[in-house]
Amino acid sequence: MALFEEIAKFQKEMMPKIPQDVLQTMQKTSAEIISKNLHHGALKSGDTIPAFTLPDATGTPVSSDQLLKSGLLVISFYRGGWCPYCNLELKALQSALLKIKTLKANLIVISPELQDHARVTQEENSLEYPVLSDVDNSVAKQFGLVYELGEEMTELFKHTFNWDLQSINGAQKVELPFPATYIVNQEGVVKYAFVDADYTQRAEPDKIIEVLRSCGD
């Protein structure tokens, strides 16, 4: 099943279970974020990514420069392990991991979660690729992906879904990255960029595989 089909299935099952007032607030806030067009400032195809080093779920530093020495690099930014859409994406990427490696590419995923939470995300989803902790969104900001989640949504998440993002991210101001997936060549140049201000939209693993194949041609 394609990722978009998994997302549609999840929405069909879960939407009716969310209180109407909560759903309306979430939809209103999402529409406001999308309307600001903040994601238009993100890195795009042809841009060069900044070099970065972030800790994985075990605290081991992972360097983009080191990964690029061995081949192409797939980078996915996600909001956090608390986000059901993110978990669907992370599992879909895990299913595609063997194909990604076969095409001589590395895969890493990045969120602002503290390292302990990143480890839980990795363990609960049985992920076999590095899950990196980008505290304060330092790298996501360099990619132009960050927006601030307002107090209304921060409190709604905390009291309705038990998602305490201030605690999960270790920050008073809750900032999140837009869903984004990049494929980068060994020179650090972006060959494919998927960025969407709608948090329900994600890059399809099949598209990632298609681009990786074309990069090798």
- For residue 139, pLDDT beyond 80: yes
- pLDDT, mean of residues 178-189: 97
- For residue 216, pLDDT beyond 80: no
Q: Are 200 and 11 in contact (CB under 8 A)?
A: yes
Q: Which tens digit of pLDDT belongs to each residue from 86-137?
A: 999 999 999 999 999 999 999 999 999 999 999 999 999 999 999 999 999 9
- For residue 38, pLDDT beyond 90: no
How far is it, in rounded angstroms, from Cα 199 to Cα 32? Answer: 12
Phi then psi dihedrals of residue 55, to 5 deg: -80, 145
- pLDDT, mean of residues 174-203: 97
**H or E stretch including 213?**
helix 205-216
Q: What is the pLDDT of residue 141?
A: 97
**H or E stretch including 210?**
helix 205-216
Q: How many CB atoms lie within 10 A of CB 4?
A: 15
Degrees, nearest 5: CA angle 152-166-44: 85
Degrees, nearest 5: CA angle 22-31-125: 65
Residue with tokens 């201000």: 197
How far is it, in rounded angstroms, from Cα 165 to Cα 98? Answer: 32
How far is it, in rounded angstroms, from Cα 31 to Cα 114? Answer: 28
- pLDDT, mean of residues 17-41: 92
How far is it, in rounded angstroms, from Cα 80 to Cα 109? Answer: 10
List Cβ neighbours of 182 (8 Å cut-off, separation of 6 or more): 43, 49, 73, 74, 75, 76, 143, 190, 192, 193, 194
